Amino acid sequence: MLLALSGVLIYLLRYLWRVMLFGASMRLGKLLRERLYQHFTSMPPSFFHRRRTGDLMAHATNDVSAVEQTAGEGVLTLVDSLTLGSLVVCTMAFTIHWKLTVIALLPLPVMAWAVSHYGRLLHERFHRAQEAFSTMNDKVQENISGVRVIKAMGLEEAETEAFRKLTHDVAEKNIAVARVDALFEPTISGIVGFSFFLTVAVGAYYVVKGEITVGELTQFSIYLGRLIWPMLAFGWLINILERGSASYDRIRSLLEVKPEITDEQATLDRIHSTEMEVHIHSFTYPGQTSSALQQVHLQVRPGQTVGVVGKTGSGKSTLLRLLLREWDVTDGVIRLGGHPLSDYRLDALRRTIGYVPQDHFLFSTTVAENIAFGKPEATREEIEAAARLANIHEDILRFDRGYETMVGERGVTLSGGQKQRISIARALLLDPPVLILDDALSAVDAETEQNILHALRRHRTDRTTWIAAHRMSAVEHADLILVLDGGKVAESGTHDELMARSGWYAMMHRRQQMETLVQKGGQANGLS
């Protein structure tokens, strides 16, 4: 009855502590993933320029899983091996023969050294294996995102071969881990076998001397056999710990990266005025030697529209991203409402400024949910009003399911112009006091562009708008136009003032008008 009761009790206790232990390890994994996600979302764009997407995904999947396994199976193995091993050794020493126990345990220091050595090798090789997995993960992510480019270039075979090499490298590095992993069990089994040899040899001597009986020697050997699992478990424990340690080192190094842009010193959580002053003496990207902007000075009153034009690489996007405080200006200052941008909390700044970037990103959800991404509680009427302002409402109605149409990953089912206009509608739905359009009209035709600009002028009379563009027609209505060249302001003024100076702006405006007229003439001849 005692044996039966003990069996039931062991069953219940093992069930409970496994549920609690593995539950705790899963909560640890959840906590690490949440910390990583929060860390990713708090990092500036420069962080993602240095880090590969596939590598970041590997940290949040494979590495977290390895740490989770250490916290679950690792702790389970540690407690199990220590408890059972200690009980067996104490029983052998105190109930049979302590001298024979010491002799039987003499090989253990050798096992400890071997397991420690294997552990160091395993740590290094598992770290390299995880890095190889990150590289492979990044390759998969890039190729899936760029599959249309790969197919258009006919590079399927080349990319398949490149991926085959990566998978071969991952396999080789994991096989190197497995080679070290395979050393644990035979080493421990050999050491345990040597312990049995010492037990039988020295135990027989003690039997002859009469210090122990044959029955006690037999009992001692049975107990020694019970030590095989704790010793094997100890080797398995080192294996798990080194894998978890290597993965946690990778996670910790990622979490230790501090964001360059913080609001720790910010004191203001509300912006009362959108009047802006820009005084940039010089701005250089981190790690670069040449300045991206120099001597950019202007003042923008609330409700004004500012156009920013110039050649590719002239600094248009840099200027607009500094307004968003994606980087801090060290040689100069940008003020909003009379205060430097660094005085405002980042969430207050983000609420004030609506931004439509060059790279238009849409989520794998419906058109309506993409437009309402920044304002999930928006009504259908508000969503449709924003879509009308962005001149995309009629296009959406022609979709099979209208606003409930799934756009596919990154908006793959939509044209470039449709993605741009949905992105603009998403920003307009928020009705931000400051709206920044960074070349956000490049994929639409001239007529659509003018319709959108007319809607903006009509509905944003008391709102500030910044427009960066390559087409001069997109900014000719602006209250102030900046022409950047090599990071410097080459010209500034209204459309009429710049046209009167006959500089770069006037030349480009006339050339683009001529191209438009020639295009219209060609279309007219084609129709006739």
Report the candidate in 270, 276, 329, 271 with the shortest Cα–Cα distance to residue 466.
276
pLDDT above 60: residue 525: no
pLDDT at residue 173, rounded to an integer: 93
3-state secondary structure string across 97-121: CHHHHHHHCCCHHHHHHHHHHHHHH
Per the CB < 8 A criterion, the answer to whether 246 and 123 are in contact is yes
Report the candidate in 354, 324, 321 with the shortest Cα–Cα distance to residue 428.
354
pLDDT at residue 382, rounded to an integer: 92
Mean pLDDT calculated for residue range 491-504: 90
pLDDT at residue 410, rounded to an integer: 64
Q: How many residues does the chain have?
A: 528
Write the DSSP symbol of residue 433. Answer: S
| Structure token pair of residue 130 | 């995880």
Report the candidate in 168, 390, 285 with the shortest Cα–Cα distance to residue 160.
168
Q: Mind listing the pLDDT tens digit for each residue in 373-396?
A: 888 898 999 999 999 998 999 989
Positions of E strands within 143-292: 276-283
pLDDT at residue 527, rounded to an integer: 47
Q: Whole-model pTM?
A: 0.73
88: Cβ contacts below 8 Å, ≥ 6 apart? 223, 226, 227, 230
305: enclosing H helix or E strand: strand 305-310
The C-alpha atoms of residue 148 and residue 492 are separated, in whole angstroms, by 41
pLDDT band at 481 (very low <50, low <70, confident <90, very high): very high
pLDDT band at 264 (very low <50, low <70, confident <90, very high): confident
| Structure token pair of residue 2 | 């005692």
Q: Collapse the DSSP code of 290 into the 3-class scheme (helix H, G, I; strand E, B; otherwise coil) and give the result.
A: coil
Ordered structural domains, the chain, with CATH: 28-255 (1.20.1560.10), 276-501 (3.40.50.300)
Mean pLDDT calculated for residue range 455-482: 89
Q: Mind listing the pLDDT tens digit for each residue in 314-373?
A: 889 899 989 988 888 888 999 998 899 988 888 888 888 889 888 778 888 888 998 998
pLDDT at residue 526, rounded to an integer: 53
In the numeric block, the tokens 């069990």 are attached to 185
- CA-CA-CA-CA torsion sign (337, 342, 300, 307): negative
Q: Mind listing the pLDDT tens digit for each residue in 69-128?
A: 888 888 888 888 888 888 888 988 888 888 888 998 888 888 888 888 888 888 889 889
The C-alpha atoms of residue 387 and residue 384 are separated, in whole angstroms, by 5
pLDDT at residue 520, rounded to an integer: 63
Q: Mind listing the pLDDT tens digit for each residue in 205-249?
A: 989 988 888 998 899 888 888 887 787 777 778 888 888 888 899
* Sheet containing 331-336, strands listed edge to edge, beginning at the edge strand earlier in sequence: 293-300, 276-283, 331-336, 339-340
Write the DSSP symbol of residue 362. Answer: -
Please count the other Cβ atoms lying within 10 Å of the Cβ belonging to residue 26: 13
526: Cβ contacts below 8 Å, ≥ 6 apart? none
Q: Collapse the DSSP code of 464 into the 3-class scheme (helix H, G, I; strand E, B; otherwise coil) and give the result.
A: strand
Q: Mind listing the pLDDT tens digit for each residue in 270-285?
A: 888 889 999 999 999 8
189: enclosing H helix or E strand: helix 156-209
Render the burial of 369-388: b for 16+ CB within 10 Å, e for the rest. bbbbbeeeebeeeebbbbbb
336 phi/psi in degrees, rounded to 5: -130, 120
Packing angle, helices 214-226 and 75-95, rounded to 10 = 170
pLDDT at residue 313, rounded to an integer: 85
Per the CB < 8 A criterion, the answer to whether 318 and 288 are in contact is no
Cα–Cα separations (whole angstroms), residue 400 to 382, 403, 407: 21, 9, 11
The C-alpha atoms of residue 363 and residue 252 are separated, in whole angstroms, by 30
Between 416 and 208, the more confident residue is 208
Mean pLDDT of the chain: 86
pLDDT at residue 141, rounded to an integer: 81
Q: Mind listing the pLDDT tens digit for each residue in 289-323?
A: 888 999 999 999 988 999 999 988 888 989 998 99
Mean pLDDT calculated for residue range 28-56: 85
| Structure token pair of residue 401 | 């399911």
pLDDT at residue 523, rounded to an integer: 54
Residues of the chain with pLDDT > 90, as a percent, come to 23
pLDDT at residue 409, rounded to an integer: 66
Q: Is 347 exposed, middle or buried (0-12, 13-18, 19+ CB in 10 A)?
A: exposed
pLDDT at residue 521, rounded to an integer: 62
pLDDT at residue 189, rounded to an integer: 84
| Structure token pair of residue 315 | 């600094």
